[in-house]
Amino acid sequence: MISEIPLELLKEILQYLSLKDIKSFSTCSKQSRFRSLPSVFKAIAICQESARALRDGGSLCSVVTTIRYAILRPSNSSREVSQEQFHDLVKECRVSFDILKHFKNLEVIEIADFKLPEQFEYRLLSSTFKKLSTYPPFKNLKRIQMLSTSVRSDFSLAAQYEHYLDSLTDENNIFIKNGVRKQDEIANFPKGIFNLEELSLNVLEIYVDDSEREESIGFADELLASSRLVLKRLSIDVYHLLFSEKKNCIFPTLSFLSIWCGGMGIQDMSEISCSFPKIEELRVGGKRNRVYERIMMRPTKETPYVEIGRMPKLKRIFLPQPSDLYARFLDEGELDKTVEYWMGKRPDQEFKSLNPSPLTMLEQVEFCNGSTEGLECCIIDGDTRRWRATRSFSIRMEEDPTLRPVGWDFEVGADEAH
């Protein structure tokens, strides 16, 4: 009898079965269904239907303490919401996502597609997470993956949404106002509320700053600022990446940084080296007409990416292949001089000086040129360098899940409840 097998032993057995086999086992009897639920539902999408099943007395109420991965997925995720539906969407976020307070072992939250204009999406997310921040279990939350949710809209459409937002009443109005300080400004998340170790942000714009701010900022900015002292991995897919002029936002524990940006310049690399001084892996990429042409239009006599020499703990680096003033990609020999400078073995030809912080731990460097090829350098024994032509990092990343930044692989390996 299944009921006679100790639960700990059954969990151990189920670990060696495929998800398909566990599903088959769960259909054998009510007892096997009940005992296998935690192994089937390790991840779940929170929507109106699943929220009902997760409440007290629901068919999935017994699994809430085992869920590690939750996806916030509103009912409009496959279409743009109309003004008339906005009130229902606010209510849905307020009621359905409230179920997360019962998830005592939740480690990852994925924010699915809201299909809303940016400012209204931020209000909903800010209000939702402001409410979640009051629940003690969420101090243990480790990772948030934010997909691209906002849609561009003209001023007339935004004005219509604003008018509809003003018409919210009762609990829905209180819920929205909880996430807003005044007018359109997003509420601050006090430091320590979310001690996130991993963040994956897919937004139009993000501002890296840790000052007391009066102006309105985005929801993603708040998540980043509130967790900067403990954050270990950060992936940003953004159109504009902005840094504070005060250079006051330092990430002391960050070891992995991936930036996929619509437009970057040489100054941005300098800012990155100041804000992320202890990273061990750096990945920078973007569209050819944005990053690759803007980031390094320098003469070959200068050392490209000289600012990276300020990050002495780097082990792996993935960068766009730099070009000279004639838009010619630098070749293997020219790039080898850059790697030698980083390692403190060759002076920069412009400043006639060695890198003051040699990258003694460097193991791998890859320059991708935005097409189907790139150049990869492998450092052996801290000195010997081997170069080879390879497919660009962006293509390899699509084919190899181990190379993907946090949040780019949406397969969570378990069923989603609908």
The pTM score is 0.80
Which distant-in-sequence residues (6+ apart) come within 8 Å of 51 by Cβ? 95, 96, 97, 99
338: phi then psi, degrees, rounded to nearest 5: -65, -45
For 190, the token pair is 């006090």
Angle between helices 83-96 and 155-166 (to 10 degrees): 60
Q: Say how far apart CA 216 and CA 123 lie, in whole Å.
A: 11
Instruction: Provide Rg for the chain, Cα atoms.
Output: 24
Q: List Cα–Cα distances, 356 to 272, 297, 308, 342, 352, in angstroms.
A: 17, 24, 11, 9, 12
Q: Say how far apart CA 52 and CA 58 lie, in whole Å.
A: 6
pLDDT of residue 212: 64
For 378, the token pair is 């492998």
**Residue (of 260, 338, 245) closest to 296 by Cα position:** 338
Summarised one tens digit per residue, pLDDT across range 97-145 is 788 888 888 888 988 877 777 777 777 888 888 888 777 777 778 999 8
Summarised one tens digit per residue, pLDDT across range 348-376 is 877 788 888 899 999 999 988 766 678 88
DSSP letters along 190-242, please?
Answer: -TTS---SEEEEEEEEEEE--S---S---HHHHHHHHTTTT--EEEEEEEEEE
Q: Say how far apart CA 251 and CA 231 lie, in whole Å.
A: 7
Q: Say how far apart CA 294 and CA 224 lie, in whole Å.
A: 26
Summarised one tens digit per residue, pLDDT across range 47-57 is 777 877 887 77
Which distant-in-sequence residues (6+ apart) come within 8 Å of 47 by Cβ? 73, 74, 75, 96, 418
**301-305 contacts, C-beta under 8 A, 24 or more apart:** 301/349, 301/350, 302/348, 302/349, 302/350, 303/337, 303/338, 303/341, 303/348, 303/349, 303/350, 304/330, 304/335, 304/338, 305/269, 305/338
Q: Say how far apart CA 197 and CA 232 lie, in whole Å.
A: 5
**Residue (of 248, 238, 153) closest to 208 by Cα position:** 248
Distance, CA of 131 to chain centre = 21
- Give the residue, 68 or 234, on which the prediction is more confident: 234
Looking at the predicted structure, is the pLDDT value of residue 416 above 60? Answer: no
Q: Say how far apart CA 4 and CA 292 lie, in whole Å.
A: 63
Angle at 110 between CA 106 and CA 116, to 5 degrees: 140
Q: In the structure, what pLDDT confidence band is assigned to residue 210 with cuts at 50, 70 and 90?
A: confident
The region of weakest confidence among 71-75, 257-261, 273-277, 365-369 is 71-75
Looking at the predicted structure, is the pLDDT value of residue 331 above 80? Answer: yes
Q: In the structure, what pLDDT confidence band is assigned to residue 92 with cuts at 50, 70 and 90?
A: confident
What number is the average pLDDT over the span 246-274? 81
* Helices (H) then strands (E): counts for the chain: 13, 14
Task: For the chain, give the mean pLDDT.
Answer: 76
Distance, CA of 206 to chain centre = 12
